[in-house]
Amino acid sequence: MLLLTFFSCAKKMTQDRTIYFPKQQKQTNITLPKEKVWVFIMAGQSNMAGRGFVEPQDTLTNNRIYSINQAGDLVLAKEPLHFYEPNLTGLDCGRSFALALLGKIPDDVSILMIPTAVGGSAISQWLNDETYRNVTLLSNFKEKVTLGKSFGTVKAVLWHQGESDSNPKDILHYQDRLQTLFSVFRSIIGNPTLPIIAGELGSYSENKMGWQQINDAMHKCVEKDPFAASISTKDLKHKGDLIHFDSKGQREMGKRFATAYLKHFLK
């Protein structure tokens, strides 16, 4: 009986996680002028891929905010934007980022959010182009960059990662690896001055020292990079697992990425 109850509860939790996921995506037949499409690449691990609870407000479309589906088709953006881990993915910060930009950019510009983040991926796996959770990380990034450039101009990379590197061995190399990866991203995109905005790890981890050391390394990397910026997350809350930002935190993180982009990089 206890075992049956456990599986029943687990099934209900899975159903609850997806209860407000959109039942269909609206593929657009509109051809957008490439010079009027700003592309933003979302990269990293689970807190960029999104683990927040999707609510109805997160699935409302805007005719200036787009994403892609698994087939690479242009679609009106609805959360969740990431599709690589269907049994895990939830609300990310992409749609809230785009919404925060709308009132600050030209009215004739559309925004395309391209998802490439994979939960649990370490920075060395990105650099080595390893396959993780059935995604070959850097190759997939290249593929999605090419796709994004077919629709518009890549304006920035939003990066959130480091939880998997918050161990004594990898922390020592994180700053150098992050600097290298930023260079690789810019080389792939073909823009040596491409803005990259990195988000801090949360302040709620049981591994507080490790996460803080990752944040310290990230800040040192950003300080040496004139085309990088960072956002604070120390006041944001987790969803109950001490790892992932809750829905409110994801939406706020999107706004902070947008604020950083507008402040440091919008010409």
Residue 25 CA to residue 261 CA, distance in Å, equals: 28
162's CB contacts (< 8 A; 6+ apart) are: 45, 123, 174, 201, 211, 214, 215, 218
CA distances from 192 to 44, 148, 188 (A): 20, 17, 10
pTM metric for this prediction: 0.93
Q: Which domains does the chain have, with CATH numbers?
A: 37-264 (3.40.50.1110)
Residue-level pLDDT at 39: 98
The ranges of the chain with pLDDT < 50 are: 1-14
pLDDT of residue 29: 74
Structure tokens given for 193: 């001055």
Q: Please report the pLDDT score of residue 9 as a whole number.
A: 40
DSSP letter assigned to residue 41:
E
Please tell me the distance from the alpha carbon of residue 246 to that of residue 74, in angstroms, as a whole number. 28
Give the Å distances, CA to CA, from 244 to 191, 233, 262: 32, 12, 26
Q: Which residue has the tokens 């796709």?
A: 147
* Distance, C-alpha 207 to centroid of its chain: 22
Pairing of strands 74-76, 110-115: unpaired
Residue 10, exposed/middle/buried by CB under 10 A (0-12, 13-18, 19+)? exposed
Residues 6 or more apart whose Cβ sits within 8 Å of residue 156: 40, 41, 194, 195, 196, 197, 261, 265
pLDDT at 11: 42
Angle at 232 between CA 110 and CA 114, to 5 degrees: 30
pLDDT given for residue 84 in this prediction: 98
Distance linking the first and last C-alpha atoms of the chain: 63
Give the DSSP H/E element, type plus range, for residue 90. none
What local confidence, expressed as pLDDT, does residue 31 receive? 84
How are beta strands 131-132 and 135-136 bridged, if at all?
antiparallel
